[in-house]
Structure 1
């Protein structure tokens, strides 16, 4: 009975493994424990460098070039949470289950470098698991699914320390583990290089797009008027049957359902969502400083955390308004006028936005400028969309390749030879 239960569990999470492979609990091949070292400096404690959540979340590897936070820790904490080459660090809690279990492989160690709060250390028994193979296993989709199921919490979800070691992993012989690790090191490096080139292209295209806006809008004259004389704040709500809209930095105001990358869940009760009409200006107060606002072409509703501004005059063409209000010059103004201690807390309120002035030339001049911008940026936007598609496809292929390799769906020796 016990053997059947183990076989069922392994098959449930890992599928059919090749001959000679088996499924194992993480605790069978490694030690794993969570850190309690917070970002504090306490007089009398030894100084340390903390490897923190963002260091793991934003990087595949922990290397000496990272800018680690300086703090202090007790001698017991330094002994227990000092990281070693070959460890894998994982994020153990976050606001969403998608962000837990993200691994980074430790390639650098020092006597003062320790693992910070919100992270866990996985230290393999090298007699049973090749360190880099274990990292790639923890990077794979079957493990991510298990973290998602075991995650607990309401406003913040996390992996309980009692569940950390229970995750089921594939375990081939050591020589095959080494082969898989080497294969994935090489193949993912090739994919990452392609992604990096596409991201460089995106940067160049974004610069070109900004230059179009700067050039065309710099040629526009007209009386400067404060936004408070062009818009008024609207609080019309209780329209639950309207389509839900969202505001994107790159796309402006669009139907939320038109994108598959918006993971913010719409609540069941949307009575407090604000009504948006075509030509309304919608501002994401938290991200306006990043350019997350736009003039809507759609009717619908948005979160009450947004600002909906209704035009009070016909002197401003909606297309022209959309471009000028999302111009680099004004986005810098939003950054300056946003309130908050740190960027994650910044908010741009109507009372501060209302004092910004914009040029309002004659309508014919506005429409001509908007048409020129649209013509030039449409071609750039098409190239941007293609580059993003290439990046998304490459990342999907990378993820699928990792899962296939660590679960034995592909014979890496054959694949490597063929490659």
Structure 2
């Protein structure tokens, strides 16, 4: 097995520049810069709208970006992600959320270094060296000292060539499955929207406040933090538990029963509906789910507990609130520039059609079969993606750590 050596022996390591919003000299240059958001999992660099800052001429030369450079995310949620640049980025610099590795000529291949870092991130070795007191940071100093396997340059290139070919095939498979999921979600939303449209044709939508007995938000601020959590006790319903018309049982959290008694006004019972007061691109704002039997439970901040009035099914309420048209309505009512948010007053004003209990049940029955079949296909596609990503990670590990000879493997193909 190839011995590991510090990255600083394979490449120069440079931290980017703190954002400078104003010029300091007449010769300064207002230039686009690479930032952490550009670097995505599996070694991808994505295009984003340009953001610019001021660089001195010297800084822009020192912080240039060339083909073969490896860019590593220094801190935050994406710390440790890496990607190799496949093309020069003329006129660009990079922010201090990025650490640049410039492979030493005749010593290292940037593609190989990127794969080695991807492997280290997957197996947790980068986690072991990052500071997690607040936000984790894979600092330039830690990157410099971080050790990766270091075969001869010709072997690095052979490994990178092999992995470029194999991972491209896997990535293409994943892309097709993701495209399929997108199409299936469109079909599901179309069927869902049709079901709600039929209810709207029969009855004029009314504000949510007219079909519930109460709505409460979870306790804010210091009233309920992770410091209050315990191994057992009263269940805490958090945003991650609210799916789109489904309750996600994972991500369990509890507080002691004795403390829950002080927060009794935020309780949630089986059959109640919980609404997400915060959303993003993955999980839409205003999505709702029926609370299952969790035992004693309360809601956390930004999770609104709604108690349906008599004559309203919790299942129908969650279904109607999560429907595509209702999601669009909520998006128009939302505020916030990054993550969209609503409060309980806005939630009370959301309008949905509410027919008789019998009609509610028939509407749900008419759509649940179609939605279930589509959701099953989405789940299967998601499983294929997960397996493909596992194979990708395992293949990178095996190649980088020398578990097989890539040149022999390519001939065997």
Please say whether Structure 1 and Structure 2 have the same fold, judged by a TM-score greater than 0.5: yes
Alpha-carbon distance in 1 for matches of 2:15, 2:44: 19
Gaps of 5+ in 2: none
Secondary structure in 2 matching 1:314 = coil
1:199 aligns with 2:178: yes
Alpha-carbon distance in 1 for matches of 2:247, 2:400: 41
Match of 2:333 among 328, 333, 337: 337
Contact 2:242 2:274 in 1 (8 A): no
Contact 1:26 1:168 in 2 (8 A): yes
Secondary structure in 2 matching 1:252 = coil
TM-score w.r.t. structure 2 length? 0.86
Alpha-carbon distance in 2 for matches of 1:92, 1:302: 37
Structure-2 change in CA distance of 1:145 and 1:307 (3 Å): closer
Structure-2 change in CA distance of 1:124 and 1:366 (3 Å): same
**What is the CA distance between 1:58 and its match in structure 2?**
5.9
**What is the CA distance between 1:122 and its match in structure 2?**
0.8
Contact 1:235 1:308 in 2 (8 A): yes
Contact 1:33 1:120 in 2 (8 A): yes
**What is the CA distance between 1:310 and its match in structure 2?**
3.0
Secondary structure in 1 matching 2:335 = coil
Match of 1:369 among 357, 363, 369: 363
2:309 alignment counterpart? 313
2:411 alignment counterpart? 417
Alpha-carbon distance in 2 for matches of 1:251, 1:416: 47
**What is the CA distance between 1:75 and its match in structure 2?**
2.3
Structure 1 segment 221-260 matched on structure 2, within 5 A: 221-231=202-212, 232-234=214-216, 241-245=233-237, 246-250=240-244, 252-257=246-251
Match of 1:56 among 32, 36, 39: 39
Contact 1:29 1:125 in 2 (8 A): yes
**What is the CA distance between 1:181 and its match in structure 2?**
0.3
Alpha-carbon distance in 1 for matches of 2:30, 2:291: 52
Contact 1:146 1:167 in 2 (8 A): no
Structure-2 change in CA distance of 1:213 and 1:61 (3 Å): closer
**What is the CA distance between 1:289 and its match in structure 2?**
4.1
Alpha-carbon distance in 1 for matches of 2:218, 2:110: 57
Structure 1 segment 154-173 matched on structure 2, within 5 A: 154-173=133-152
Gaps of 5+ in 1: 1-16, 259-265
RMSD: 2.6
2:92 alignment counterpart? 113
**What is the CA distance between 1:230 and its match in structure 2?**
2.1
Bigger mean CA offset, 315-324 vs 289-298: 289-298
